[in-house]
Amino acid sequence: MTFNELGLSAKVLQAVEASGYTTPTPIQAQAIPHALAGRDILGIAQTGTGKTAAFTLPMLSRLEQGRARARMPRTLILEPTRELAAQVEESFVRYGVNHKLNVALLIGGVSFGDQETKIMRGADVLIATPGRLLDFSERGKLLLTGIEILVIDEADRMLDMGFIPDIERICKLVPFTRQTLFFSATMPPEITRLTETFLHNPVRIEVARAASTATTITQNFVASATGPAKRETLRRLIRGAADFKNAIIFCNRKRDVAVLHKSLQKHGFNAGALHGDMDQRARMSSLDAFKTGDVDLLVCSDVAARGLDIPDVSHVFNFDVPTHAEDYVHRIGRTGRAGKSGVAISIITRADQKHVAEIERLIAQKIDWLGEETLANLTEEDAEEPLGRERGRRSTRKDSEKSEDGATRRKSVRSSSAPRRDDERPSADSAPVREAPASSAPRRGPRRRPEDEDAPVVGMGDHVPMFLLRPVRLKPAKVVEE
């Protein structure tokens, strides 16, 4: 089957041919005819199979007739992340090169003024994240009564991220007679029940088993200790990777992204970072640098795990195993896209055994272990010693200085105190009392013990601000004469 048999318009076919595509993917071949007919669609396909083009191409064909009005977009596409929304905008620009359509992007981290200008000019296609869309709607800058097609992309991620109330509000703002398209890589039963509220007699298209991974991806597990040994394991895997071109490295927490990024740069790797706390300009700059090859490694959180189409990613490393098994499917889906081969390696510690079992149960596949080291023969010393060694190396000099200073202080205290008689013995019930040197300055507050460094401070602690110590001058009360 070719794109010419799907019923697309001549302008869209020209753009597709110019992009170098001739044969549609299974999700595209099944979804495009129903989308052109105006049917609601529930599309389930593994990541990297071309879901974006499955709704982009029919929308362009249908938008050739009609014209957008100010503040009233004709179609609405909801995306869970800013990066994914910007990627969909690029698809419309590429495939809509022969159309005179206005595309507006409403995402956070960008000026309201610039986005409002595009809305007032009239948008045929509105691509937005739920939060920013509702901000515009509540300010009266946007009317959704003219929406003809509503697309909820990465539906499971939208619902998992807590966007259910926002999506329900948005669905109430758009016309009831709209066409709704749901596309996702995973569709758990509870999510399927929720779609019954949004879809009307949908066509269910499932070109692959839900939560399945692409056969072009080679998956492996590697056992490792925690702490610095885990970062050393990652560096060893990167240096020894065969046919290595570039790699995306996933961490579970944003602060771990920053730590690992700095560690890789310290060891001479050309790495970038991407996580949710970065401003939008820095996030797009880091992503563009990876796409253009300026950096070989991209350390990121799950903000880059869903739907991002980065061509020719040779490797994916899970530095941290995802706590949700569905996220594993999306993470490794960044490689092995469009029929190309890829490698996905996950670093496993003892604490990850439960998540490993959930992943293998979800994908219905047993994943092989690399190397002779496994969790079974990983000793407790191996698991804990590297972190202790680093802490020891980090604190050796300080500890030695402290011990020397402590010995000096004890020596000075002993010399300045009264001489002890030979028959004087310290009592077993009481600790020896030491007198402070006469020349020592008075202590300004209680000395904090090392184990109390992380103790929570109640109120202002031992510190009293100066303004609280100033005497209060009371003004004399005025006497009212009767």
Could you confirm whether domain 3-206 is CATH 3.40.50.300?
A: yes
Please give the average per-residue pLDDT across 91-111, as a whole number: 90
What whole-number percentage of the chain has pLDDT above 70? 78
* Domain 217-384 CATH class label: alpha beta
pTM score, whole prediction: 0.65
- Per the model's pLDDT, the better-predicted residue between 193 and 319 turns out to be 319
Could you tell me how many helices (H) and strands (E) the chain has, helices first? 16, 14
Domains 3-206 and 217-384 share a fold: yes
- Per the model's pLDDT, the better-predicted residue between 213 and 482 turns out to be 213
Q: What is the DSSP-derived secondary structure letter of residue 149?
A: E
Q: What is the pLDDT of residues 433-481, one digit of tens each?
A: 444 444 444 444 444 444 444 455 566 666 777 777 778 777 777 766 6
Q: What is the DSSP-derived secondary structure letter of residue 69?
A: B
Query: Which helix (H) or strand (E) is 297 found in, with range?
Result: strand 297-300
Mean pLDDT score of the chain: 80
pLDDT of residue 455: 53
Both tokens of 260, joined, read 């690992």
pLDDT of residue 400: 42
What whole-number percentage of the chain has pLDDT above 90? 43
Backbone angles phi, psi at 78, to 5 degrees: -100, 130
Q: What is the DSSP-derived secondary structure letter of residue 452?
A: G
- How is the chain split among helix, strand and coil, in percent rounded to 5? 40, 15, 45
Q: How far is CA 372 from CA 118, 375, 383, 393, 464, in A?
A: 58, 10, 16, 29, 60
pLDDT of residue 441: 45
* Residue 42 near residue 195, CB atoms below 8 Å: yes
- Domain regions of the chain by residue span: 3-206, 217-384
Radius of gyration over alpha carbons of the chain, in Å? 31
Please give the average per-residue pLDDT across 102-113, as a whole number: 89
Query: Whose structure tokens read 């000026």?
Result: 111
